[in-house]
């Protein structure tokens, strides 16, 4: 049953754009961060302020954070494939140095994907705030509804304009399902202001 509803949710016309992907991996060894920083001119490391080195790559455009433990975080890419490529390229470039010739990375895991979505029509925000379960709305602090989905385990920020931000997804499919689930919940409760 879940599979049938998932297929239905993926066929909808909600437009989605991935804005940021956060991926992690391990380099499987302790790292001398100062040796890494010396090899990249687009890097910064100040252990008094932050325990990791921040390294910017131009191609693909991404930011990598390397910790002494060998943990690596990649952010700033716009797809899962690009995040994988950014990490693999960084590891490959590190291996070219004699200091890291035997370096190997673990499996790359997607931790978070953030996407902007367009639900297509304006939303009756005040009514939606009262009728959508698992939602919070405090317009003095934030102009949108914070809506928590139970499946997938994501958070949607819904705005009166019909724009939405989805965060917490681990795949593009979860983004699509989240956006379409929100739209279906809004339509079911007559909270979409369709333009005639």
Residues 146 and 93 sit within 8 Å (Cβ to Cβ): no
Position 3 pLDDT exceeds 70 = no
State pLDDT tens for residues 158-194: 999 999 999 999 999 999 999 999 999 999 999 998 7
Give the mean pLDDT of 137-159. 97
Domains of the chain: 2-17+113-193 (3.30.310.10), 28-105 (3.30.310.10)
Give the DSSP letter string of 22-64: EEEEE-SS---HHHHHHH-SSEE--TTT-SSEEEEETTTTEEE
What is the C-alpha separation between 174 and 53, in angstroms, rounded?
A: 31
| Residue of 195, 142, 149 lying closest to 176 (CA atoms) | 149
**If phi over 0 gives left and psi between -120 and 50 gives alpha, with beta otherwise, what is residue 76?**
left
* For helices 2-10 and 172-188, angle between their N-to-C axes, nearest 10 degrees: 90
More confident residue, 1 or 192: 192
Position 13 pLDDT exceeds 70 = no
Position 114 pLDDT exceeds 80 = yes
Mean pLDDT of the chain: 89
pLDDT of 180 reads 93
**Which band of pLDDT confidence, cut at 50, 70 and 90, is reported for residue 195?**
low
pLDDT of 109 reads 96
State pLDDT tens for residues 33-58: 988 887 777 899 999 999 999 999 99
pLDDT of 98 reads 60
pLDDT of 40 reads 79
**Rounded to the nearest 10 degrees, how much is the dihedral formed by the CA atoms of 179, 182, 183, 186?**
-170
What is the C-alpha separation between 119 and 16, in angstroms, rounded?
A: 9
Position 9 pLDDT exceeds 80 = no
């Amino acid at each position: 049953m879940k599979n049938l509803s998932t297929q239905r949710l993926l066929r909808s016309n909600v437009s989605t754009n991935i804005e940021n992907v956060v991926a992690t991996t391990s380099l499987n060894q302790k790292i001398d961060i100062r040796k890494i920083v010396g090899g990249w001119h687009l890097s910064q490391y100040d252990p008094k302020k932050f325990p990791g080195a921040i390294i910017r790559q131009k191609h693909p455009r991404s930011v990598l954070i390397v910790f002494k433990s060998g943990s690596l975080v990649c952010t700033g890419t716009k797809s899962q494939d690009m995040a994988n490529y950014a990490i693999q390229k960084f590891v490959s470039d590190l291996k070219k140095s004699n200091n890291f010739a035997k370096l190997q990375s673990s499996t790359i895991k997607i931790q978070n994907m953030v996407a902007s979505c367009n639900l297509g029509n304006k939303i009756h925000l005040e009514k939606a705030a009262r009728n959508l379960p698992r939602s919070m709305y405090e317009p003095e602090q934030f102009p949108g509804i914070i809506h928590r989905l139970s499946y997938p385990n994501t958070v949607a920020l819904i705005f009166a304009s019909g724009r939405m931000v989805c965060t917490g997804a681990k795949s593009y499919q979860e983004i699509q399902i989240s956006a379409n689930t929100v739209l279906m919940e809004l339509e079911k409760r007559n909270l979409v202001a369709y333009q005639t």
